[in-house]
Structure 1
Amino acid sequence: MQPLLIETNAVLQQSIFVKEVNVKNLNNPLHFHKEYEMVLMTKSNGRRIVGDSIENFTEGDLVIMGPNLPHVMYNDKEYYAPDSELEVSAIVTHFRLDWLRESFINSGEATKLNDLLRDINRGIKIYGKSHKRVVTILNELLLSTGLKRIIHLLNILDLLSETNEYECLSSLGYSNLHNHKDMQRINKIYDYIMNNFTENITLKDAAALANMTIASFCKYFKGRTQKTFTQFVNEVRIGHACKLLYDDHLSISQICFQSGFNNLTNFNRNFKEYTKLNPSDFKKSLRL
C-alpha cells in the first residue's frame, strides 16, 4: 500500500496545481497531505468522509480541505460493477499558501482570510450563489497559467472570506490523530463498512479486521472518528436511505431494509435522530 501521507509532487514544484479527473470510479484510500485541496465533483455521487463528517455527495459538490485533514470519497456500489458504464469527472486543485508573506497574514487586511482558513482546516462545503461564482472562477483557473492562477485563487479566497454560504464539515474539536499505521487500519475499516453497510455488520467482525479486542477497538474507533462504531455505521446507512427516498417506487419499508436496518422501529428512530424528520416527512419535503 502506498504511503497515506500523500506527497503531491506537482505542488512542490508550483504553488497551485489543478487538473481534470476522469475515471471509472473513485479508489483512493483515506489520506491526507500537506497542501490545501479543492474538489468540484462535476459527475459522480457517493459518500464523502472528511475528518469526522460523513455526507452524501452528488454532481456539483464543491469542498475545500485544509492541510493534514484526512478525507476519502466512495462511489455508490454500482460504480464498481465490472460492466458499469458510469464515470467520475472532477476538477481537483491542490495549493499552498506559504508564498503569502507573514507580514500580510498578520495584518488587519487578512483578518477575514484567517477566519476562513481556520474553517477550511475543518473542511468546508460551499453552496448558494457563492458556489456558482466559485465554479466560474475555478473553470477560469483551470485554463490559466502562471500569475493568473494565483490571481484566480485569491479571488476565490476573497469571495469566500466575505460570505457565509459555506458550512464546516468536521467538528470543531476534531484533530488528526492518525499516523501511517492508523491510516491503513482505519482505511481497512472504512472499506469494510462502505462495502457491507447494507448487510449485517457486527462489532466483532470489525474488531477482528483491525486485529483488536472489542473493548480496545471501541476505544480506538471513538478516539479516531469522534463517533462510536454503531453511530458511524448508522450515519452511513441513513445517508444511503436519504438517497433512496428520492425514488417514488420504493416504500419506506423497502428503503429500511435496503439501507441495512433490520426493523422499521430502529430505522425510524435513527432517521429522525440524524435528519430531525421521520422518513415519511422527509419524502414529502422532496416534493415541495
Structure 2
Amino acid sequence: METNTVHQQTIFVKEINVKNLTNPVHFHNEYELVLITQSKGRRIVGDSIENFEEGDLVLIGPNLPHVMYNDKSYYEPENKQPVTATVMYFRMDWLKEEFVHSKEIPQLHDLLLDINRGIKVYGDTHKQVVLLLNQLIASKGLGRIIHLLSILNLLSESKEYICLSSLGYTNPHNQKDVQRISKIYNYIMANFTEDISLETAATLASMTTSAFCKYFKARTQKTFTHFVNEIRIGHACKLLFDDHLSMTEICYQSGFNNLTNFNRNFKLYTRLSPSEFKKNLKI
C-alpha cells in the first residue's frame, strides 16, 4: 500500500492487476474497500476465514488485521489466471465526532461499528455500491467525497451485508506480531493439503510448541488445529462443485487423512455433511 500517498489524501483508489496476491497480514489507520473483479482464494479478516471469488466486496475498518490468499493454482509457474481488483482507502477524520454520534443519523454510527469488524456486501446493495464506486473513481475533489458519503448512506440503510469478525474482536497484534503471524499463515496456506506440523509452525515463530499454542490462540481466537481445519474445509467446499471428484478424492485433496475425520470436521464447520452440502449446491 502506498502509505504516504494515502496519508496525503482523504480518498485514494488503486487498481490491482497481478499474477497472484502476495501481501502479508497487515492493518492500517484507513478504512479499506476491496472489490475483487477476477480472483479466487481465502480471505482472513480479524478472526473470520472465508472463501472469496469474483465480485467479492468487503469493507474493512481501521486497525483490523486482514489478508487474502489466492488458490494454490495461482502460484504455479504456468498460471495464466489474472488477479484484478479495485481497492479504495479512505479516512474519516474530517468527519467530526459529534456529527457521527448525532441523533439525526444513528444508522451511520451503527454502520461504522459494523465496519470495524469488517463487512461483506451482497445483493442489490452490492450492485449499487459498485456503481457508486465507479462514479467515485471517475470524479475528482469534492465529487469523490460526495460519492463516498453516498456509499456510506446506502450501506447504513441496507441489511444486505454481514459482519465478518466476531462481536467484540479486538486487534491483538503489534507490527512485530504481524511479521510472525504472516510466516505461520504462509506456511499453512502452502501446505494445508498435506501434513501440517505443529512443530514446524512453532519453529517458524521461534517458540516452543506449548508457548506457540498459547500465542496462536491469543492472536487468532482459534486453536492451531481449528484454524488449519477451517482452511481445509473451505477448500473442500470449493472441490464439492466438481462433479468429477469422489468424496474420497475431495477428502485427501483437502488435507484430511480419512473420510471419518473429514466428515466429522465438515459437519462441525458447515453444520452439513459433505453429501448434504453438495445436494444443496445442485438445488
Q: Compute the TM-score of the two structures, normalised by the length of structure 1.
A: 0.96
Does residue 239 (structure 1) correspond to residue 229 (structure 2)? The answer is no
Q: Aligned equivalents of 1:187 and 1:150: distance in 2? A: 34
The answer to whether structure 1 residue 170 and structure 2 residue 198 are counterparts is no
Which residue does the alignment assign to 1:75?
70
Per the alignment, residue 123 of structure 1 pairs with: 118
Q: 1:7 to 1:90 in 2, by over 3 A?
A: closer
> What TM-score comes out, normalization by structure 2 length?
0.98
CA offset digits 1:138-185 (Å, max 9, x no partner)? 111111111111111101100110111111111112111111111111
The residue number in structure 2 matching 1:181 is: 176
For 2:135, the aligned partner's letter is E
**Match among 136, 140, 153 for residue 141 of structure 1:** 136
Q: Does residue 49 of the first structure (1) align with residue 44 of the second (2)?
A: yes
Q: Which of 261, 266, 273 is 1:271 aligned to?
A: 266
Please say which of residues 165-174 and 221-230 is displaced more in the overlay: 165-174
Q: Which amino acid in 2 is paired with 1:221?
A: F
Cα drift, residue 110 of structure 1: 2.6
Cα shift at 1:102:
2.7
Residue 31 of structure 2 is aligned with which of 33, 36, 59? Answer: 36
Deviations 1:26-66 (A, max 9, x none): 00000001000000000000000001111100000000000
Secondary structure at 1:39 match in 2 = strand
TM-superposed CA distance for 1:278, in Å, is 0.3
- 1:109 is paired with a residue of what secondary structure? coil
The residue type equivalent to 1:75 in the other structure is N
Of 178, 193, 217, which residue of structure 2 is paired with 1:222?
A: 217
Whole-angstrom CA distance in 2 between matches of 1:260 and 1:106 = 48
Matches within 5 A, 1:244-263: 244-263=239-258
- Structure 2 residue ranges without an equivalent (≥5): none
| Correspondence for 1:90 | 85
The DSSP-based 3-state class of the residue aligned with 2:232 is helix
**Is 1:111 matched with 2:106?**
yes
Question: Of 15, 18, 26, which aligns to 1:23?
Answer: 18
Q: How far apart are 1:19 and its partner, in Å? A: 1.7
Partner residue in 1 for 2:206: 211
1:187-243, CA deviations, whole angstroms, 9 ceiling, x for partnerless residues? 000000000000100212211221111111110000000000000000000000000
The AA in structure 1 aligned to 2:216 is F
What is the rounded CA distance, in whole Å, between the counterparts of 2:59 and 2:84 in structure 1? Answer: 17
Deviation at 1:251, TM superposition (A): 0.6
Structure 1 segments, 4+ long, off by >6 Å, are none
SS, match of residue 40 in structure 1: strand
For these two proteins, the number of residue pairs brought into alignment is 283
Distance across 2 between alignment mates of 1:159 and 1:9: 29
1:3 corresponds to: none
Percent identity, aligned pairs only, is 70
- Matching residue's letter, 1:88: V
Report the Cα distance in structure 2 between the residues aligned to 1:146 and 1:76, rounded to whole angstroms: 38
1:280 to 272, 275, 281: 275
What is the CA deviation profile of residues 104-147 of structure 1, one whole-angstrom value per residue up to 9, with x for unaligned ones? Answer: 12311231101000010010000111111111111111111111
Structure 1: gaps (5+ residues)? 1-5
Distance in structure 2 (CA, Å) of the matches to 1:7 and 1:98: 19
Which amino acid in 1 is paired with 2:192?
F
